[in-house]
A and B are shown apart, each in its own frame.
Chain A
């Protein structure tokens, strides 16, 4: 009897919830004429693309231009290159400590990001779900910390780093970066945790899970998109960070890419544009790859919620 009813219910069509995977709905397309679409969609979109991508194009172009073409705008079209060369990139990779800087950046960014995400997960879960006295205040205070600009904070932080004897080491950056990463990641994750239905946790509680098990077996697997966006955000911030890296590292072999490029590839007042741009280009490629892989998660975490 039960079985029969089960099958009847199972075959019932239309009750399966379908999650729309994109915003493209067919609904009102009949209102859209092609000229209208061009004016309202493709034209503005194209303009924005042009503005956003031009610096990148310029950077790529400069890094393969022979020195003679770099500043001679009379003979050559500045927007194009003839006889492209890999000299700048070669010089960068083999004539400087660039691989070392790249490694430093990667190491510092990865370590600082993991440290921050770990701390943020604990903080965000506690503030979002453990209703302890003052959780709101703690949440607000963490956010306030985010509002203090690094250009003010670097002076006291530098003296703290000096005090612990960490000056001019990657560890200095690994410990300082979380001061900017944790507040933002905590808020991002708090928002994400709040979208996870509370019943799931109650259900897990009754099922016999401890708080730690709820966090690791229920919440974190469901918060993966949120974790990924927190990760990307933190990683990007570390990767591009300038002011702390500039003040807290001095030796050539300890510098990160953003600092090293401007301090080591500029001789006095001579800007070696080819190498500078090659350094910036190579330095931004890992981030491009990272974004390309996770952009969908990133967007969904910023806009979406957990769906059952």
Chain B
């Protein structure tokens, strides 16, 4: 186990800079998730950490040692790839023992460590099978087993669950988290799925266009997103954004172009009349008198909750209710945003106010 320091790392392919100076401190034993839309540079950063890509500038150190020029095999890392990258011509046991064999470990040692890892992951009955004889979830587990066997300082996961179906993905998510709690190995995990990030991470790093938008504990990011991008990215269904102007007339509120008043708890710094974006999460709407008049567009019951897409003025919003709602499209309702849960962002910079 080791800490990892990523300091002001940049990456260019030719003239195009993909990463514009990224710094991430990772403590020993931490589970860090790099999350962002595709093309944000998260996988590139992971590959640089693994030693599969050159580092254009900045430094990456593992366990206090700068590894910019260190060969992947000397970094003492293990990586799980999106499509598992199992060696098709080797059995599960051979796949898992391959790295030990290359290091010249004795046959009995390889055997013992493979068995131990197989035991942890429930792979023991599959050891003599070939990858093509395994299901997606089993392959995923073999890929993890291959990483565990080496007992590395850092685990790297590159979107390991993307190829699994929804149900299995949830199961494997729990499994990976449980494994981390058990082994306590420093882990860097890349995903585009914010739910995975929220559920698994000790620390989430939200990336976008080669920069870090925000870094922090999952619930901190959820409760206090630093900017409009993070606010929209974290949380599902996504946060609603309504454009308006800041007003203080007795109480503080945001006034939309159509004249609706969106309530605020306190008046933030800044001039009255400033252009802002009012952010409110779907679950922070209440139905009842005194709210904004809205017309229901779609009702989506999921069983545990009801999602309602409604139109306020000319903007569509999503609201989520725990209770069942007996409404149908076309109904006129009144939606009241909870003032204490509202987020305000500057219209021009997108930064939190």
Contact = CB atoms under 8 A, between A and B. Distances in A.
- A-B interaction: yes
Interface of A: 1-3, 5-10, 12, 15-17, 19, 197, 199-200, 202-209, 213, 218, 221-222, 306-308
Interface stretch (B26-34, B57-65, B84-92): B84-92
Interface stretch (B9-17, B171-179, B221-229): B171-179
Contacts of B85: 197, 199-200, 202-203
B95 to A, nearest CB: 10
28 contacts: A2-B179, A5-B174, A6-B122, A6-B175, A9-B135, A9-B141, A9-B168, A9-B171, A15-B135, A15-B136, A16-B134, A16-B135, A17-B132, A199-B82, A202-B79, A203-B81, A204-B87, A206-B75, A207-B73, A207-B102, A207-B146, A208-B73, A208-B99, A222-B89, A306-B88, A308-B83, A308-B84, A308-B132
Contacts of A209: 73, 102
Interface of A is mostly: helix
A154 B334 CA distance: 91
B77 A12 contact: no
B210 interface: no
B165 interface: yes
Contacts of B174: 5
Interface in B79-126: 79, 81-89, 98-99, 102-103, 120-123, 126
Given A2-B178, A12-B135, A306-B88, A206 B77 contact: yes
B33 to A, nearest CB: 20
Nearest to B141: A6
A153 B43 CA distance: 51
Interface of B: 50-52, 72-73, 75, 77-79, 81-89, 98-99, 102-103, 120-123, 126, 131-139, 141, 146, 150, 165, 168, 171-172, 174-175, 178-179
B72 A221 contact: no
B151 to A, nearest CB: 13
Nearest to A199: B85
A15 B136 CA distance: 6
A65 B104 CA distance: 65
A2 B120 contact: yes
Given A200-B85, A202-B85, A206-B77, A1 B178 contact: yes
> Which 9 pairs, one residue from A and one from B, show the smallest C-beta to C-beta distance?
A6-B122, A208-B73, A15-B135, A207-B99, A199-B85, A9-B137, A203-B85, A208-B102, A221-B89
A200 to B, nearest CB: 5
B134 A222 contact: no
A221 B95 CA distance: 14
Given A2-B175, A5-B174, A307-B88, A206 B137 contact: no
A19 B132 contact: yes
Contacts of A221: 89
Q: Which of A9, A207, A209 has the most CB of B within 10 A?
A: A207
